[in-house]
Amino acid sequence: MNYLNGLNVIYYSIIETIKTKKTQPMHIADELEETFSNHNWSMIKREEDHIIFKKNTNNYDYFDIQIGSKINISVPLIHSRFQYYTRFDLDSADYLAYIKNHLDNYEREKTRN
């Protein structure tokens, strides 16, 4: 193997490691924990492939994040006991913004009422 091919192998290995770390639940939990706690939510489950944040003042409102072949996210619907469910590809960078936007919308709507 020549020098450039060796560098390419190392480069692609690093890129794959970065992609993997961004979708690991512990990375997601670390990214979101402070944001949720600032809004009076608690992380009630922190496992290798599953994270749940629950509103401290309400037993029905929770954000459920499961990672398998895709990132599956369930968010609370305001004034309901039901959840809205969606999924993202593992290589998507949009899931964190999606979760944070739903949390912000939830908190904004709850303070209005």
Q: What is the reported pTM? A: 0.75
Distance CA 97, CA 108 (A): 16
CA nearest neighbour of 25 among 90, 80, 87, 74? 90
The tens digit of pLDDT for each residue in 5-60 reads: 544 555 455 445 445 444 455 678 888 999 999 999 999 999 989 999 999 988 88
Q: Is residue 2 part of a domain?
A: no
Please, are residues 34 and 44 in contact by the beta-carbon 8 Å criterion? no
Its domain, for residue 30, covers: 24-112
Please, are residues 72 and 85 in contact by the beta-carbon 8 Å criterion? yes
pLDDT above 70 coverage of the chain, percent:
76
Task: Report the pLDDT averaged over residues 103-112.
Answer: 88
Q: Is residue 15 part of a domain?
A: no
What is the domain count for the chain? 1
Residue ranges in the chain assigned as alpha helix (H): 3-22, 25-37, 95-112
